[in-house]
Structures are given as structure tokens and as C-alpha cells.
């Protein structure tokens, strides 16, 4: 089976992809990468998110053309989606450390707190017509 990226207006195939086998997908996503990433500092993560924002901003027009060709998304809306993604990346680069900081909770115990820890991947089912926002 092949996965194809097809222009919905002309029927032209832009590119085909061979789907990954389950084992290949596991190798690309899972254990080793997660174990390494979960140890990155907020400063390192902020740097990565800021870089992602820069990619969205500088590639906005290119990304907009891809979205328009592949799914007929209006060019202006597609460009807006790329900018929205850059804004979200910058927001998390600036706020994640505060949002995920441990919180001391007053209880009768010697010490109580809420602590956020990276536990694994998150799966989200998202609308198809916002490919970059995913």
C-alpha cells in the first residue's frame, strides 16, 4: 500500500510515501528519543520552540502553497495557519517553564506538592484541514 499526496482539484499526485511498519514507527518515535528528550532543560526546549517558530515564519509562503495545493486551503488562511503555529511555539517557549513548575500544596503532611513529569507521547485526533496546527 502506498500513501499519496494528491491535489484535490487536478488529481495530480505530488508525492507518494511508503507507510512505516509498526516496528519502524516505534524506532522513530519511542524509547530512545523520549528518554533523551525528557531530560532536556526548559531553556533547551524553549530554544527548540523558538527555532520552530522561526521556521514557520520564514517558510510561511512555502507552507501556505503546500497547504493550498494539497487540500485547497485558501492561500491567505494557509499563511495564517503558519503564523498561528509560530505564535503558539513562541507562547510555549516563553511560558512552559512557569506553567509546568512544581506547586507546593498546603496539607497536614510534612511536604505536599504537584509536580509535572514527562511520561510519554500524547495522541490527538485533530481536524485534517489544519495540517500544520496539528
pLDDT, tens only, 36-89: 888 899 999 999 999 999 999 999 999 999 999 888 889 999 999 999 999 999
The stretches of the chain forming alpha helices (DSSP H) are 22-29, 31-37, 42-58, 60-71, 75-99
Higher pLDDT, 79 or 22: 79
Q: Which three-class secondary structure state does DSSP give residue 54? A: helix
CA distances in angstroms from 57 to 37, 89, 103, listed in the order given: 24, 11, 35
CB 125 within 8 A of CB 132: no
Confidence of residue 110 (pLDDT cuts 50, 70, 90): very high
CA distance 27 to 48: 22
Q: Is the pLDDT of residue 98 over 80?
A: yes
Q: Are 123 and 131 spatial neighbours (Cβ–Cβ below 8 Å)?
A: no
The whole-angstrom separation of Cα 46 and Cα 70 is: 31
Give the pLDDT of residue 123. 65
Find the helix or strand (DSSP H, E) in which 4 lies: strand 3-6
Amino acid at each position: 500500500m502506498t500513501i499519496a499526496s494528491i491535489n484535490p482539484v487536478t488529481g495530480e499526485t505530488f508525492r507518494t510515501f511508503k507507510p512505516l511498519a509498526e516496528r519502524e514507527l516505534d524506532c522513530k518515535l519511542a524509547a530512545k528519543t523520549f528518554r533523551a528528550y525528557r531530560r532536556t532543560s526548559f531553556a533547551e526546549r524553549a530554544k527548540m520552540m523558538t527555532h520552530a517558530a522561526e521556521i514557520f515564519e520564514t517558510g510561511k509562503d512555502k507552507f501556505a502553497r503546500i497547504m493550498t495545493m494539497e487540500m485547497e486551503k485558501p492561500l491567505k488562511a494557509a499563511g495564517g495557519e503558519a503564523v498561528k503555529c509560530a505564535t503558539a511555539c513562541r507562547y510555549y517557549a516563553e511560558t512552559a517553564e512557569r506553567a509546568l513548575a512544581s506547586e507546593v500544596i498546603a496539607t497536614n503532611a510534612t511536604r505536599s506538592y504537584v509536580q509535572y513529569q514527562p511520561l510519554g507521547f500524547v495522541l490527538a485526533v485533530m481536524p485534517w484541514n489544519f495540517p500544520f496546527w496539528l
